[in-house]
Amino acid sequence: MRSAVPCLLFCLMSWSPALAGTIAVTPEQAARLGIHTVPVQKAVAQPVVSVLGHIAPAPDSRRPVPAPFAGTVERLLKLEGDAVRKGDALALFVSADMQAGEAKLRGLEARSRAADAAANRARLLVKEGIAPASRAEEAQAEAASVAADLAASRHTMALAAAGEGGSYRLLAPADGRVSAIAVSAGEQVGAMQPILNIDTKDEMWVEGTLPAAVIGLVAAGDSVVLEGLPGVTGTVVAAGTSIDPRTRGAMVRARLTGSAVLVSGQTVRLAIRRKAVAGSFNVPRAAVIQMKKGPVVFAARPGGFEPVPVRILARGARDATIQGSISPRDTIAVSGVTELKAAGSED
């Protein structure tokens, strides 16, 4: 077989072309040389860059849950992967601060009632002309300040449920699934220290770093494909326009859709595409070969193949976007192109 290929090449180079500029190749010779063809595809999108990225939950779906009061972790009631409903107990803490928090809340509720009553009396006195308007304004400001403190205290207390013996249960603030836990039983934690994360949606995003050479070429709305994960596509949501000194690139984020199972933190390769130039075509990268006068594709013609000069607009991992004198009706060689190049090198 090794001696057959040089013989076939000699025959290809010595035969006269079937048409002007066409390398004569019979079906039998094409089969022996392993020449296969595919139709060209009108380009809808063209590749811009392929970069490594990692899967992350949608930015608005991850809810960190802090400990409202300092204490010691007595027991974890939910673990990674567990589904939770709003109000479910997540962990049990021993804390002397919980009782102090309850007392503070009761005190603020009493102060709020008194401040509201004082503000109402001041408004009435001002209305009757007994007191100046400034007195009502001061009373109203005091009531508003106490109301703000009360709201903050209630928000903190809503994260916990008092237990026996100075303990409290940390409560889930929303429906979701526990994605990460930052503490373990027996560990001491401070007030508002993050304890765990809850993912409230199944929506996944991908984040990557654009090299400096393509910053400004990627924009919101560009399409994304995850290489090696058929059916997973996405849309660029945000693309940085300046270089991060730590990564020497710019952050790009895309929202994903598809049926494949994606795991937060998973490393993937994402191919970013943008709207193609009018009149361009997508072809396999292997179909484009460099000749002395520039890149060409070998288009199938009656009796052989014609080397058609093309201009490469973009290269992706598997495809290239090109322009040239080809049409959607053409088919081009994707294998055996090295032999066709050798046969056409005498032109």
The token pair that represents 346 in the structure block: 């005498």
The token pair that represents 325 in the structure block: 């004198």
Distance CA 178, CA 82 (A): 6
Burial 161-178 (b: 16+ CB within 10 A, else e): eebeeebbbbbbbeebbb
Q: Which domain holds residue 191?
A: 62-199
How many distinct structural domains can be found in the chain? Answer: 3
For residues 40 and 146, membership in a common domain is answered with no
Neighbours of 281 (CB within 10 A): 25
Q: Which of 275, 300, 321 is the last residue of a domain?
A: 275
Question: Which domain CATH number covers 99?
Answer: 2.40.50.100
Question: Which domain CATH number covers 226?
Answer: 2.40.30.170
Question: Which domain CATH number covers 18?
Answer: 2.40.420.20
Distance CA 55, CA 38 (A): 34
DSSP structural state of residue 185: T
Q: Based on C-alpha coordinates, what's the Rg of the chain?
A: 35
The token pair that represents 144 in the structure block: 């508003």
On whether the CB atoms of residues 6 and 239 are closer than 8 A, the answer is no
Block mean pLDDT (10 aa), the chain, length 347: 45 43 84 87 82 89 90 92 92 84 82 87 82 83 88 80 82 91 92 91 89 87 87 90 89 86 88 84 87 88 89 79 86 86 67
DSSP structural state of residue 16: P
Check residue 92 and give its pLDDT: 93
For residues 98 and 176, membership in a common domain is answered with yes
pTM for this structure?
0.58
Check residue 344 and give its pLDDT: 67
C-alpha angle with apex 212: 270 to 268, nearest 5 degrees?
15
Check residue 345 and give its pLDDT: 65
For residues 300 and 315, membership in a common domain is answered with yes
Check residue 259 and give its pLDDT: 65
For residues 105 and 52, membership in a common domain is answered with no
For residues 30 and 77, membership in a common domain is answered with no
Among residues 345, 325, 329, 338, which one has the least CA distance to residue 287? 338
Give, in order, the Cα–Cα distances in Å from 279 to each of 39, 160, 326: 16, 63, 10
Q: Which of 169, 184, 199 is the last residue of a domain?
A: 199
For residues 95 and 36, membership in a common domain is answered with no
**Residue 42: CA atoms inside 13 Å, Cβ hemisphere, count?**
5
For residues 71 and 171, membership in a common domain is answered with yes
Write down how long the chain is.
347
Check residue 235 and give its pLDDT: 92
For residues 245 and 296, membership in a common domain is answered with no
Distance CA 14, CA 11 (A): 5
Across 192-248, the runs of DSSP E, i.e. the strands, are: 194-199, 204-211, 223-226, 233-239
For residues 82 and 142, membership in a common domain is answered with yes
For 288, residues 6+ apart whose C-beta sits below 8 A from its C-beta are 295, 296, 297, 310, 312, 320, 322
Q: Which of 199, 227, 261 is the last residue of a domain?
A: 199
